Amino acid sequence: MATRSKAGSYVESSVRVLKGLEPVKERPGMYTLTCDPLHVIQEVIDNSSDEVLAGFGTRIEVWLHQDQSVTVEDNGRGIPVGLHPTEKQPVVQLVFTSLHAGGKFDKTSGGAYAFSGGLHGVGVSVTNALSSRMEVVVWRDGLESRITFRDGFVDEPLSSRKSPRRKSETGTRVTAWPDPKYFDTAVIPVPRLTALLRSKAVLMPGCEVIFHDEIAGTDQRWLYEGGLGEYLASEMAFEPAVPRFEAEGFAGPDSEAFSEGEGASWVAAWTEEGPLVRESYVNLIPTPSGGTHEAGLKDGLFQAMKNFIDAHQLAVKGVKLLPEDVFSRVSFVLSCKMLDPQFQGQTKDRLTSRDALKLVSTFVAPQFEFWLNDHVEDGKKLAELVIHQAQRRQSAAPKIDRKKSSSVAVLPGKLTDCESSDTSRTELYLVEGDSAGGSAKVGRDKEFQAVLPLRGKILNTWEVDPKRLFASQIIHDIATAIGVNPHGTAAEGDLSHLRYGKICILADADVDGSHIQVLLLTLFFRHFPKLVEEGHVFVAMPPLFRVEVPARGRRPARRIYCLDDRELARTRQKLAKERVKPEDLTVARFKGLGEMSASELGETALNPDTRCLLPISWGEVDKRTTEVVMTMLMGHKEAGARRTWLERYGDMARTDV
């Protein structure tokens, strides 16, 4: 039985308030990647890139020194060094020592950065926090200003002297010594750094990027005039089946749907064999995990190809074309520009802005359709390749009997099944409540999405004997629907009768919904571990808020969904910059999924291109460690341990009261 000592008491002095850069040092993984220091160096490079993107720089020069420190220099405007009007500190000091301080919050046409990857003002301040030393030199207004930091704090205050350069020769030089104690390895991965710098040159035609590797004694220089097409051609191992499709599209001042300057440039090439090259960027920030802008490219290419095949009567009977058939053999480089992009996490690996799908697709679809009809023979050859890919997919798809899930049980009556038998595509949504289940049935894609409404909360199965599981009708229905019997270990699991490739938990975005999520995850972890290990379990994240924006001028009325309070705050800030009055907004908080219409639920939780779906896995710890934590959280006799845990970590929770 867990006991509490007096030393573990929770009193007023137990509450810590982290100030300045302390949160970064305490939890560096929340702000950057900690496998190596490359990402904190990338934050500095991104700042120089944003100067080029804003039209004020033409050169970025990087040095990797013998001691693994890195210097980044640009010929941009130079960081301001005067006193901030309200903070009464030099701006250059404020930028490097304060979280959420930067020039990228002002997205108006007169702002310092209309388009940039920086959103939260935590980039270079994180670099400073995780560096043992940092030195910044600024050339601006005829002065050369210098300031140094140690462990995130000012070491040598700002000092200025007359610049040895001409007054027009402005810029910034930042040298950082990443602190090894915050990273798994202190070594900068040179191949990834080289790839990053080269991609910057590609995305910024006319910008010279220079890299000096003092460790290897080599120098590299990139200056691309050919843009994305030249870069993709140099990276592909095989010649494309048809000529590359390269184009761009950006919103003008009269655009009703998007802000001026928003849009994308892209190049796509199809090959019949070999590895694929796929790179995407948002405001020059690489997004290796893709996101909604890649979904927009995929949708635009598919819509245009489908229209071309229909117009030229190239369809083959019995073959249904899917977006992945068009996208499966395409290599691409996509560079998207958005006024206020939203990323998944501070590392910005994945774009989550729902508007990006429509933004990219709107420009890609008509231009690709025009290209296909302007190159009819190449279009027909590409259509043949796409149709052949669809035939291969259909012949290779694992087939199952949709009328039964096993030899001993029939499917539950509440299950609304899908049409497809391809388990690589099929999805089962476990939905909280009959009301939400009804909306999900209407809003789903019935071809590959099935819905099983759950009534009430299921049993806490952490300490339930597997033989007694089916005493619960809900658990019986879940097991029968997915076609997998309970099993104790992943090795014992038999997924040969698995009926759905994705099992998605869809519950309300409140405390009760979170409780249902935990109970279902407990069931899968304890009694269906093979599903978790093979990556078949997901949690859908429906929005908590809906913001109605009235029509303004040529721009029609809009509806914006926000996942949580933080996204709502960002949306309010973005609309304020668009000069939308707060009193004109209508903000609705969803009390539950049942309040959402079928179209709303379909767009925000079911559509694969716009939903937020979190995969469930063991994460960074092993299964044994996870089991210890789950026992403490879900065990019947662990109340004392749970109380101790809450006293220690409860202040970190985001509560919904």
Cβ atoms 231, 81 nearer than 8 A: no
50 flagged as catalytic: no
Cβ atoms 95, 79 nearer than 8 A: yes
Residue 136: Cβ within 10 Å count? 24
445 flagged as catalytic: no
Residue 634 token pair = 């879900």
Q: How far apart are CA 309 and CA 296, in angstroms?
A: 20
Q: Which residues pair with 546 in a beta bridge?
A: 561, 588
Q: Which of 510, 533, 564, 638 is catalytic?
A: 510
Select from 107, 126, 125 the least CA-distant residue to 116. 107
Provide Rg for the chain, Cα atoms.
27
Calculate the alpha carbon distances from 575 to 310, 570, 583 in Å: 41, 9, 12
Q: Which of 512, 565, 651, 656 is catalytic?
A: 512
Residue 387: Cβ within 10 Å count? 18
432 flagged as catalytic: yes
Torsion sign (Cα): 150, 152, 154, 156: positive
Q: How far apart are CA 210 and CA 217, in angstroms?
A: 14
Q: Residue 106: helix, strand or coil by DSSP?
A: coil
Q: Which of 50, 508, 603, 609 is catalytic?
A: 508
Cβ atoms 89, 158 nearer than 8 A: no
Burial zone of 365 (CB within 10 Å; 0-12 exposed, 13-18 middle, 19+ buried):
buried
Range list of H helices, 54-174: 91-97, 123-129
- Amino acid at site 529: P
Cβ atoms 306, 82 nearer than 8 A: no
Calculate the alpha carbon distances from 286 to 122, 291, 370 in Å: 17, 11, 29
Q: How far apart are CA 585 and CA 548, in angstroms?
A: 6
325 flagged as catalytic: no
159 phi, psi to nearest 5 deg = -135, 145
Q: What angle do CA 18, 24, 25 make, to 5 degrees?
A: 85
Q: Which of 422, 427, 432, 609 is catalytic?
A: 432
Cβ atoms 356, 281 nearer than 8 A: no
**Active-site residue set:** 432, 508, 510, 512
